[in-house]
Copies of this chain bind each other. A is one copy, B any other.
Amino acid sequence: MNKQPKYRQVADALRREIDGGDYPPGSRLPSESELSARFDASRNTVRSGLNQLVSEGLISSSQGLGYEVRKHEVFKLNASRFENLTFEQNGDAYNTDVTNAGRRPSQTFRVEMTPANSYVAERLKVDGGSTTVLRFCHRFVDDVPWSTQATYYPDWLAKEAPRLAEPGDIAEGTTRYLATAGIEQIGYFDEIATRMPTPDEARLLDIGAGVPVLLWTRTGYSDERPIRCTITTFRGDLNRMNYEIGDLSARPESEPK
């Protein structure tokens, strides 16, 4: 006989049907009571099964509406080209990338002075708790929260490049501005991790249960020392990071889907 618990049978059956295309992305699942009748299980048991799929990120639910099959269009971010070392873009690579994809970018922005936490302090090689300039972006694509980006600059750098600590955009791009101030960024160290979002992140990025975040930390170096640390938090279901290494001339223009 079937020794799987009933709630898991429900989850497995629905997962198969979703994967098989019976319920395409964006469509609605039958209601809990219908499923309850179909599987001859109590509403609680059906809910357990649905909950499983929610925490796998396959479906989402809203009160009064029902369960919907999640649609996920991933957005590709070419990290090795993102701020190319030879071709310095003017900082809004995000804007051009999103616009090129036919989507509408928007963002909120703020600047503040804040003590470095241990994670940032370690990467900037400054003392924990010492002051840093934080430039923070909250980015949207078609008004859907997409990512948050926090860039920390060490105190000594803000003294040499005072516009860093002023509110408002730096039109020519911070990297280029720093170059005019004599600080040239010649290398990066990228770290990529994933985990489930904290409640704060889930709120900021409007992440439902079952969607992990992709954490991207980029530490930029001059020829002497680290000059910035950028921590970007992406919705894991909507983003993919790409790196090109070496000679890819054999690679055609069209990227894999």
The answer to whether A243 and B210 touch (CB under 8 A), given A57-B195, A123-B256, A256-B123, is no
- Name the residue of chain B whose CB is nearest to the CB of A48: B51
- Chain B nearest Cβ from A196, distance in angstroms: 5
Residue A170, interface by CB 8 Å = no
Task: Tell me the number of copies of this protein.
Answer: 2
Residue A35, interface by CB 8 Å = no
The answer to whether A241 and B195 touch (CB under 8 A), given A186-B246, A209-B55, A223-B249, is no
Q: How far is the CA of A257 from the CA of B239 in the complex (A)?
A: 26
| CB-contact partner of A240 in B192, B221, B223, under 8 A | B192
Which residues of B lie under 8 Å from residue A248 when comparing CB positions?
Answer: 187-189, 221
- Chain B nearest Cβ from A51, distance in angstroms: 8
Query: Are B223 and A188 in touch, CB under 8 angstroms?
Result: no
Which residues of B lie under 8 Å from residue A187 when comparing CB positions?
Answer: 244-251
Query: Are A186 and B242 in touch, CB under 8 angstroms?
Result: no
- Chain B nearest Cβ from A211, distance in angstroms: 8
Residue A222, interface by CB 8 Å = yes
Residue A56, interface by CB 8 Å = yes
| CB-contact partner of A188 in B188, B197, B246, under 8 A | B246
Query: Are B195 and A237 in touch, CB under 8 angstroms?
Result: yes
Residue A225, interface by CB 8 Å = yes
Residue A79, interface by CB 8 Å = yes
Residue A1, interface by CB 8 Å = no
Residue A37, interface by CB 8 Å = no
Residues of A near any B CB (own CB < 8 A)? 12, 15, 55-57, 74, 76, 79-80, 85, 119, 122-123, 125, 186-199, 209-214, 221-226, 236-237, 239-252, 256-257
